[in-house]
Structure 1
Amino acid sequence: MEKAFKEKVEPKIRAKNVHLRTCTFTKLDFGEKCPKINGVKAYTKEIDRRQVTLDVQISYIGDCEIHMEISKFKGGVKGIQLHGTLRMILEPLLPDVPFFGALTIFFMQKPHLEINWVGLTNLLDAPGISEMSDTLIQDLIASRLVLPNRITIPLKKNMNISQLRFPIPRGVVRVHLLQAENLVQKDHFRGKSDPYANLRVGLVQFRSKTIQRNLNPIWNEMYEFVVHELPGQDLEVDLYDEDTDKDDFLGSLLINLTDVMNDGIVDKWFPLSKTESGHLHLKLEWLSLVTDQEKLHQDKNGLATALLIVYLESACNLSMDQDASSYVVLSVGNKTLKSKTCKFNKDPMWGQAFTFFVHSAQSQSLHLEIKDKDRQNVLGTLAVSLSHLLKDSEMTLDQRFQLDQSGLDSFIKMKLVLRVLCIKEPDPQSNNTGGKALKQVPVPAAEKGGNQHKSPLPPKIEPSKVSHVSKDSGVPEAKGAKKESTAGLTVIEHPAGSAVNENSAEFNAPAGSQYLEPHPLVTLPTRKLEHSAAPSVASLSSFATSCFELDSNLALNGTNLTGMPLGEIQLAVRYASLRRSLIVMINGCRNLMPPSNRGVDPYVRVYLLPDKRRASRRKTTVKKKTFDPHYDEKFEFFESLEEVKKRTLDIAVKNSRSLISRERRELGKVLIDLSKEDLIKGFSQWYELRTYRQSRR
């Protein structure tokens, strides 16, 4: 490694700038600590069966020490921390060794990076400067290893990896940022906030306009994001209060785009996480990429009708000096993108992909310029009318193009792919705008005592749907069941505590955990409680709902059942290191003991003891008239791992009844001492429910 730094890295640094020509590494010690793998998640759904897809959570807390000198100045690095989730795709599958044709790796989001600078460079550790320096390095990593960028390594000779490096995106999500309600007051002097929203998918980020002095802002803005990888990529929304010094945080959302793709249209209010109150109204539309030109329509209201994907490969015989460096500027309409710079080569190879939203494929063109980085003179130009792509049935051009304003033998090699944006039309017989659409007036948080779920109308329950698992935590979540309203108001039931489902691999729970089969009421089967590993990375947040709870000893037919098993509850628990939160998944219960012959309407209440405040309480939805309820609902507690290790999970199954009813009783509970659990590895387990006399909430 030291030889590689001396022979390869050092010359590249010197070539970057005239002031770096004296750069020399004086000490290279890479330490003894190796990167750790905290968890591996294998995907079994929503992927091509001809590939193996893994998410590997990497954590590196290195003791490396690197010193360097530039002229008379000394500096370096002593210690690096890097945490992130690396996706690995092995494809295509082969019948013989090595069984896979190539390995593709990339980060879904920017990894978390911390660097301890020493010497003169310890100035970079100063507040503000530290964030800037680390961000610059994160951007450098992102330009190579964060989607849509990826590295593909062939594992077999003569393997064509061009299509593996640049797959066609999965689709486009159109986000309508409509309005928010009940936001937290941050400007205490004025009693208001100045909210704006940051929306991000991968490396693409947009910022909304700022609404001055308003806790119920209305934006009515629209944004379009290209989605390259599913499952895995999410829509992240952060709300801030704009200030002159530092903007205050107002809440966030993390929405799994696989669910949006499955539903087509999602129009609902989302509760904000990491805040006391607030809801955000979004309308999300999924647009598939198709080759059916009959679905190509004219631009309406500034909305894109197609997506152009440009695979920029290489150029040859450019009219330039041998020591010159070249880059490419590409533009379609008002959008302009720039390639990386290839140094000292008349035949540069870029190997990059670019995407452009197209509003009129019949009239728009792709314009391209190759420029000399140092002299800024043009080395060649090209204009390609997108109407040429419409003449091909696959709307694809893969060829060498003759460059203008260059030599007669100067060419550029590109592949152009045009795809029509096609939205999934809702069922005309249904009033719903998607499987999980929710159109209703939000319940003001001030009236309910916290940032709660918006209360839906009385549900009309459908059969349970297959549960999905969150991108980060690997914890399943249930798709909401549709509900109908005779008042013409379209609502759906969805779990309290989750904004939207997250798809990925199954959580490593015991077999049959998705659908808990009913068992006879009288007999509680003896079951071996086994821990199983859980994947790690963060997921959706949850929020507390307010409801006065009563508790008493459970008695059935005159028998005191205190301390006796009263049914079972299945839980999945894991600490998500990146989000610094404890994730608790309530899968379901079985064999619950009814308090009377009227049946039971169970829900689950969760505390992270000793905190028993109403705002800290988490509750699932109520399941009507069942002894074997299925929840698949996830809750998140934002605490450090050290703090969580001191806590106890208090999980109780309650029977929902009116406040004046004597039947409203605790059906059983379980207490889990988290200091005895491996939370980083995670566990999924069935617990026997019991009663505890000391509980009063």
Structure 2
Amino acid sequence: MNEENKKDDNKDIGEKRVAGISLKGTVYSILKKASVVGFVYLAGYLQWSVAWLIGPVALLVIRDQYKKESERRRDIAKASALTNEKDVILARIDDLPAWVYFPDVERAEWINKIFKQCWPNVNHYVRELIRDKIQHILAKNLDKFGSFKFERIILGSVPPRIGGIKVYDANMPRSEIIMDLDLFYAGDCDINFTLQGIKGGIKDFQLHGMLRVVLKPLITTMPIVGGLQVFFLNNPSIDFNLVGVVDVLDMPGLGDMLRRIVVEQIAAMMVLPNKLPIKLSDTVEAAELKIPEPEGVLRVHVIEAKNLMKKDIGMLGKGKSDPYAVINVGAQEFRTKTIQNTVDPKWDYWCEAMVSSKEAQLVTLNLWDWDPALPGTQSDDPLGRATIEVANIAKKGSDDMWITLEKAKHGMVHVRLTWLKLSKNYSDLKAALEETQYLRVTSMSTALLTLYIDSARNLPQARTSSKPDPYVTLTLYTNTKQTAMQKRTSDPVWEEGFTFLVTNPETDTLYIKIMDQKTGNELGLLNLNLSMLADKPNLEIQRQPFGLLKGDHNSKIIMSMHLRILKQENDSAKTPLLHQASTISTSSVSLDHQQSLPPSEKSTSSENVIKSETGGIVEEEIIPETSPIISSTPPSSGVIHRTPSMTSSSGESGLGRIQLTLRYSVQRQRLIVVIHQIANLPLKDPSNIPDPYVKLYLLPDRSRETKRKTVVVKDNCNPIFDESFEYLISQGELSSQQLEVTVCTQKQLFYSSTNVMGQVIVDLSQFNLTQPINSWFDLQPEKK
């Protein structure tokens, strides 16, 4: 009886709750409809304009659409995070595991099982990391909006997933192990915070990126591994959902402010060149894990862009754009100036980025159309992006390229890149200084300075006898970096590493200050002329104490210093690069000169002949040493351009020949096609010279998505394009694809019913495109 009574009571309670909820919902619905009717009546009574209604309604519709799209992406990501590996592949989700695409990446489902078991413990460590480090940085960045504090941090029960793992074993030091993990996190976190007393929250936090874990050094005692270095090779993609009162920020433009801050702080902690070191053994020196280890410096020259999309609205429809470019190399970001009212901007912008892993890092260029907006919000329109692998530039030494923009209907960007290796020979400084003087770029560097701030001793105390809260500031030119603050100590230990690009080590001075955060007083000063490293072995000073100029005469700072001279990989490439950098229009001058050269014959005995799909001849690029070579790019770029006059043959069908470079990027999963030039197009009517251009399609699925098109060259039978195009395609699909290259003319030729002048279909399965193929192809009649 008692059990039956309890069931009846529970039933009554449930019915009452349902009735209460139903009644509450009905009352809410009535009030909502009444308020709408009342507002409409008030608007009519006060004779308000309909424009007062259109604005808010349009804003609400845009916000709802934006939130629906964001929620759809997050739901898909959460579903893939909770699904096993087999179901993810069968569902054909866009972000498939890395081992599906890359043959050298291994499946990692066993690691995911370990992660799931360890997640509660990792969860606790990450919570402490967020509260101890990230909270302070966020509070500092959001100070203008008010005080910021995390109230609750729950990362949930869903652990990160590893889509694949790659362990490097070739040419690796025996004292370390390097692993790349394709990390994907879409958890059920619940993070609450307050901003100036306003409560908000973050849910559905998602992160995807390539995480590198370096186990070093390997030691002979337990735990065998002395420490870890954890970092992202490039900026990971991050997304999250705002909840609570601050949900009003979660709309296009305004919500980007908080996301940008979060991305910047993650980059500052663990995106190259920044690393998160974890010491596992007391026998390992902290310097082995924390001192920066750059492999070289990448010099980027963003010259110009052309044919960008028009994003601004003018009086007569679409106007032009106000373009600028943002260059990212890992966590390092650079921005060009904004060029007003043009779709063909010329920036002539130079920047230099330190590279810690040339085999994995990327250079990304994002082009934007600037639009006025509220401070901290993002209202600029994207004009496209380009991605370049650092490994290719480091292999060639330098490169000069026009890149077709991705995620844009049209547009190209012109960049030059130079790889600078690090030399311990101080005599290399003379050549580096001569180059910077010739280029006349004030921001150019000739050396790289690495500092490791270990500790300080006997710092002076305040008059109150309380110990200071010391930190160190390092200043070179206008670049200032700062260590963390150590609380209440006269013998602080920082163990932090820093890097600086140096303009001229013979004259530059490094300014070091030790400050007390509590009082703002200077505890010590030190000015170091970098020329002091010139006569040191390998240009290095290891863990040396330096006396401070201010404070107690026993006060010292202990640190290490390394100086490295920037040197081009191939010195022979330096001279043509210098001549090119002196003017933006060098390429066009070179092309005009090429067309004026007298004809010359090429020996057919040195040619290697291969049949293409259409029966055309593929002529491998072999040029005798006596043949003149004129190029609009440096010889070190790896692509040799031959002028039209050097190829007298009109091909097997008499329709001319086209020079292409084909290459496949395994890391970026992209087929790169470079249209160099066309030689000896037939001219049957001297009064009707063709205006040639080139169209590309990927077969067998000819579609608008695979269509690419070069610019039109007016009145020319030997046009030069030097345009680059990319296709996103997996390596497995590459063997089943064909590239259709069609040469057309903008003019309608009188002797033909079509504007097609010739065509070649390249069977991509015949080539190993992981190595660049630079070849001449004979044009054939069009295949219907």
Name the TM tier (shorter chain).
Answer: 0.5 to 0.7
Instruction: Indicate if the aligned counterparts of 1:102 and 1:161 stay in contact, CA closer than 8 A.
Output: no
Instruction: Return closer, same or farther for 1:243/1:391 CA change in 2, 3 Å cut-off.
Output: same
Comparing 71-80 and 327-336, the one that deviates more: 71-80
State which structure, 1 or 2, has the greater radius of gyration over its C-alpha atoms. Answer: 2
Distance 1:129-1:483 versus aligned 2 partners, 3 A rule: closer
Q: In the TM superposition, what are the counterparts of 1:118-517 in structure 2 within 5 Å?
A: 118-122=243-247, 125-156=250-281, 158-189=283-314, 191-245=319-373, 246-297=379-430, 298=433, 300=437, 301=440, 302=442, 303-320=444-461, 322=466, 324-398=468-542, 399-427=544-572, 460-461=620-621, 482-485=640-643, 495=661
Compared CA separation, residues 545 and 244, structure 1 to 2 (3 A): farther
2:237 corresponds to which letter in structure 1?
A: H
Paired AA for residue 402 in structure 2: W
Offset of residue 395 of structure 1: 0.8
Cα drift, residue 662 of structure 1: 14
Equivalent residue for 1:38?
A: 163
Find the aligned partners of 2:448 and 2:132 in 1 and give their Cα distance: 40
Cα distance in 1, alignment partners of residues 417 and 191 from structure 2: 47
Question: Quick check: 1:604–1:652 contact (8 Å CA) kept in 2?
Answer: no
Rounded to whole Å, the distance in 1 between the matches of 2:196 and 2:427 is: 65
CA distance in 2, matches of 1:328, 1:195: 39
Specify whether residues 90 and 219 from structure 1 end up closer, same or farther in structure 2 by C-alpha distance, changes over 3 A only.
same
Q: Does residue 617 of structure 1 match 2:707?
A: yes
| Structure 1 residues 258 and 88: CA distance shift in structure 2, 3 A | same
Quickly say closer, same or farther: Cα 1:43–1:271, change in 2 above 3 A.
farther
Partner Cα distance (2:148, 2:417) in 1: 53
Partners of 1:332 and 1:663 in 2: CA distance: 59
Structure 1, unmatched stretches of 5+, are 444-457, 464-478, 508-536, 547-602, 621-632, 639-647, 671-695
Structure 2 length normalisation: TM-score? 0.57
Contact persistence 1:544–1:619 (CA under 8 A): no
Query: How far apart in 1 are the matches of 2:150 and 2:398?
Result: 57
Q: Deviations over 1:296-346 (max 9, x none)?
A: 124522332212111222223322455753332211233322333333433
Contact in 2 for aligned 1:460/1:483 (Cα 8 Å): no
CA-CA distance at 1:45 after TM superposition: 5.8
| CA deviation map 1:33-67 (0-9, x unaligned) | 11111122334567556543222111111113345
Distance in 2 (alpha carbons) for counterparts of 1:334 and 1:251: 32
Structure 1 position 393, deviation (Å): 2.4
Range 299-308 or range 378-387, more displaced: 299-308
The 8 Å contact of residues 15 and 21 in structure 1, kept in 2 or not, is answered as no
Kept after mapping to 2: 8 A contact 1:101/1:154: yes
CA contact (8 A) 1:481 1:493 kept: no
**1:150-195 residue CA offsets vs partner (Å, 9 max, x unmatched):** 1233455512352343243111111222222222222352643222
Query: Which amino acid counterpart does residue 214 of structure 1 have in structure 2?
Result: T
Say which SS state the counterpart of residue 144 (structure 1) adopts: helix
2:206 alignment partner in structure 1: 81
Separation of aligned partners in 2, 1:296 and 1:429 = 14
Q: For 1:343, what is the secondary structure of its paired residue? A: coil
* Alignment CA distance shift 1:325-1:135 (3 Å): farther
- Is 1:542–1:636's contact at 8 Å kept on the other side of the alignment? no
Deviations 1:417-440 (A, max 9, x none): 111111234548998999xxx996
The AA in structure 1 aligned to 2:728 is E
Unaligned runs of 5+ in 2: 1-120, 374-378, 580-584, 592-617, 624-636, 648-657, 677-694, 711-724, 745-751, 766-782
Partners of 2:569 and 2:128 in 1: CA distance: 55
Residue type at the aligned position of 1:217: P
Aligned-partner Cα distance in 2 for 1:131–1:368: 36
CA distance in 2, matches of 1:418, 1:429: 22
Q: CA deviation at 1:226?
A: 1.5
Shift in alpha-carbon separation, 1:142–1:289, aligned structure 2, 3 A: same
State the alpha-carbon separation in 1 of the partners of residues 563 and 297 from structure 2: 13
CA contact (8 A) 1:269 1:439 kept: no
8 Å CA contact 2:228–2:289 kept in 1: the answer is no
Q: Output the CA distance in 1 between the equivalents of 2:571 and 2:354.
A: 22
Tell me, in whole angstroms, the C-alpha distance in 2 between the residues paired with 1:42 and 1:5.
Answer: 25
8 Å Cα contact 1:273/1:542 also seen in 2: no
Distance in 2 (alpha carbons) for counterparts of 1:194 and 1:311: 42
Residues 241 and 650 (structure 1 numbering): CA distance in 2 closer, same or farther, change over 3 Å? farther
**Cα distance in structure 1, aligned partners of 2:407 and 2:311:** 14
Greater per-residue helix proportion: 2
Closer, same or farther: CA 433–257 of 1 in aligned 2, 3 Å: farther
The structure whose residues are more often strand, as a share, is 1
Q: RMSD across aligned C-alpha pairs, in angstroms?
A: 4.8
Name the CA distance, whole Å, in 1 between partners of 2:356 and 2:174. Answer: 18
- Displacement of 1:212 in angstroms is 2.5
- Cα distance in 2 for partners of 1:406, 1:191 equals 63
How far is the alpha carbon of 1:266 from its aligned partner?
Answer: 1.1
> Residues 486 and 76 from structure 1, CA distance in 2 versus in 1: closer, same or farther, beyond 3 angstroms?
closer
Structure 1 605/91 Cα, relative in aligned 2: closer, same or farther at 3 Å? farther
1:607/1:650 contact within 8 Å kept? no
From the superposition, tell whether residues 665 and 149 of structure 1 become closer, same or farther in structure 2 (CA, over 3 Å): closer
Q: 2:738 — aligned with what?
A: 653
Alignment of 1:36-75 (within 5 A): 36-43=161-168, 48=173, 51-67=176-192, 75=200
CA deviations 1:580-620 (Å, max 9, x no partner) are: xxxxxxxxxxxxxxxxxxxxxxx9953696x722x533799
Give me the whole-angstrom Cα distance separating, in 2, the residues matched to 1:221 and 1:194: 16
1:533-548 correspondence runs (5 A): 538=668
Q: Give, in whole Å, the separation in 1 of the partners of 2:166 and 2:258.
A: 32
Separation of aligned partners in 1, 2:229 and 2:370: 40
CA deviation vs aligned residue, 1:642-688 (integer Å, no higher than 9, x gap): xxxxxx99954368798999997989999xxxxxxxxxxxxxxxxxx
Structure 1 pair 422–60 and aligned structure 2 pair: CA distance change class (3 A):
same
The one of the two structures with greater contact order (alpha-carbon pairs below 8 A, sep at least 6) is 1
CA change 1:667–1:353 in 2 (3 A) is closer
CA distance in 2, matches of 1:13, 1:359: 33
Cα gap change, 1:274 to 1:604, in 2 (>3 Å)? closer
Indicate conservation of the 8 Å contact 1:607/1:618, yes or no. Answer: no
The amino acid of 2:707's aligned partner reads R
1:635 partner amino acid? Y
Q: Secondary structure of the equivalent of 1:206?
A: strand
